[in-house]
Amino acid sequence: MPGDRSTVERAGRFLVAVCAGVAATLLVTLVVAQFQPSHDPEDGELVILSGRDDGYGNQRQALVDQWNALHPRNQARIEELAAVADAQRSEMVARAQGGGKGDADIYNLDVTWTAEFASQGYIRALDDPDTGGFLPAPLATCRYDGELWALPFNTDAGMLYYRDDYVGTAPTSWPQLVAASQSVLTGFGAIPEKDRPSAGYAGQLADYEGLTVNALEAIWGAGGDVVDGDGTVVIDSSAAQDGLTRLASGLQKSTPQVILPASATFDEAAATQAFAEGKVLFMRNWPVAHRTLDPPPALAPAPGSTPGPAASPATDTRPALRFGVTRLPGPSALGGQNLAVSAHSRRPNAARQLIEFLTSERSQQILFERGGFAATREIVYRDAEVVQRYRYAPTLLEAIRSARTRPVTPHYAQFSETFRAVVREALANGGQLPADAKTRLEAALKGYKR
């Protein structure tokens, strides 16, 4: 019957269309699969190139050990470099420029190096990682030129330490700090001079990155800037000049002495020692100084880890020195380290998974609670055990939130060196900037030498 033949023909055409559609779908799937690489982890060892672990109990290695127990096909190891940051960067750059020979899979980068390693093609951009829960400031140091190149491993911010047995209320500005120093240092009366603090303040003003950080913070604290958000050098402003003048005038010999003159040769450890010995009323330093001055209660070391300072009964005592801690009188320079996948890694997917493991909420909790590393995730600062062990944790969180990044440039090392030279000349001249300061810094930001 004609109607039956038409029905059969329509059914046949429908089946042909279905088959054609299925074939097209399969073809598209195959093409997409061909050009979209798999994110499955590749087999093989993973190497993390990093500076020395200066936390408690070697907790970074403890985390890597946990990873290894869960990932037998991707055993990881940490290769530690020199303790000095400049030497670490030089070694990492040399390895990255080696075209993969002897290269690592993951770099543990100082926050100021991310732009350089990204711009030079030493690391891979990360596509759509879950960045929820990270503190905004540390996460921002992982971005460059509109892309995300790393995840924040640990963070840091400077704080103001003060003798709360001498200073009633912590200062919130540099003029208040100077006034408190002058008031306390002139009010000791009959107390023997050898038992008195000899100056108000100690910082890190030796010729290394500490001088860059301290000078930036002094300028920021006076309301000035060195490089603005558009990358323009603005150090020639009156506010920036005021910040450097504060440092210069404080270092000048006076009675009472505002800044301990030896600060011109101090790094973090030397400043901590001077504060511990009662030589100053105030000190600018990172949280590591708090762990030195007032070690937290001992923790049992993790299986297979090396006991750190907090595990030693000899250091598990309250300090003889009474002190408090507060935010700096102005923004802190943001510190910390970021984990990035090497561009030459033969196991980039596995390396990324290891980075996500090391920066996860659980890992960040362990690194802070057991190792003393400032966490990059806010939730860790809400943990009761962390707050109990590290009484400075709430203050540190506030400092991180208000911290500022150092100038973002692929030529940061050159910029910092040039900036320090400018600052040293200014301090030797009463805080007055050299006439060519701006042009020198502009050239350094672009990688030129003048």
pLDDT at 317: 45
The conformation of residue 379, written as its DSSP 8-state character, comes to G
pLDDT at 449: 73
Continuous segment of H or E residues that includes residue 317: none
384-412: b (≥16 Cβ within 10 Å) or e: eebeebbebbebbbebbeebbebbbbbbb
pLDDT at 444: 97
SS3 label, residue 418: helix
Strand runs labelled E in 223-378: 280-285, 324-327, 334-341
pLDDT at 397: 98
- The residue assigned the tokens 């905004």 is 136
pLDDT at 180: 95
pLDDT at 153: 98
Q: Start-end ranges of CATH 3.40.190.10 in the chain?
A: 46-156+335-402, 159-285+411-445
Query: How wide is the angle at C-alpha 422 spanned by C-alphas 418 and 423, nearest 5°?
Result: 115
Q: Is the dihedral of CA 109, 112, 113, 115 positive or negative?
A: positive
Strand runs labelled E in 348-405: none
pLDDT at 308: 44
- CATH number corresponding to 46-156+335-402: 3.40.190.10
Cross-strand pairs, 106:
48, 341
pLDDT at 190: 59
* Residues of the chain with confidence (pLDDT) below 70: 1-38, 99-102, 189-191, 298-319, 450
pLDDT at 4: 52
384 φ/ψ angles, rounded to the nearest 5 degrees: -65, -35
pLDDT at 82: 82
47 φ/ψ angles, rounded to the nearest 5 degrees: -115, 125
Query: What's the rounded Cα separation, in Å, for the pair 121 and 179?
Result: 50
pLDDT at 20: 54
The highest-level CATH class for domain 159-285+411-445 is: alpha beta
